[in-house]
Amino acid sequence: MVKLLIYILCFGTYHLHASTIYEEKCVQCHASLPVSLDEMFKRYLLVYSGEENVKAGIKHYLSYPSKDISVMSELFIDMYHIKEKSILTEDELNRSISIYWETYKVSKRLK
């Protein structure tokens, strides 16, 4: 019983930390852009289709930002530029991308 309680507390802390990173690093930065995270998600989904490919595409872009691999329009890039390389650790990046996917995934919206 004690082990289960410790596991639940650790998992909750781990997930809370990931949510905080997502909120602080992703949502906060994107709040000043005219395109919402939801709209960007739709663009990634159009280009990369499934969960695995979307997550890999986002991770690659955040690790190696380039105009050539951006899903945003050239006009958007000209106005707002390419973002800087992510400063998140690989683990933080993976967790944040997973939260992003869970927040905007299409199957969550279907009824």
Percent of the chain's residues with pLDDT above 90 = 56
The domain locations on the chain are: 2-108
Q: Confirm if 40 and 30 have CB atoms less than 8 A apart.
A: yes
Q: Quick: pLDDT tens for 81-90.
A: 998 899 999 9
Q: Quick: pLDDT tens for 69-85.
A: 999 999 999 998 998 89
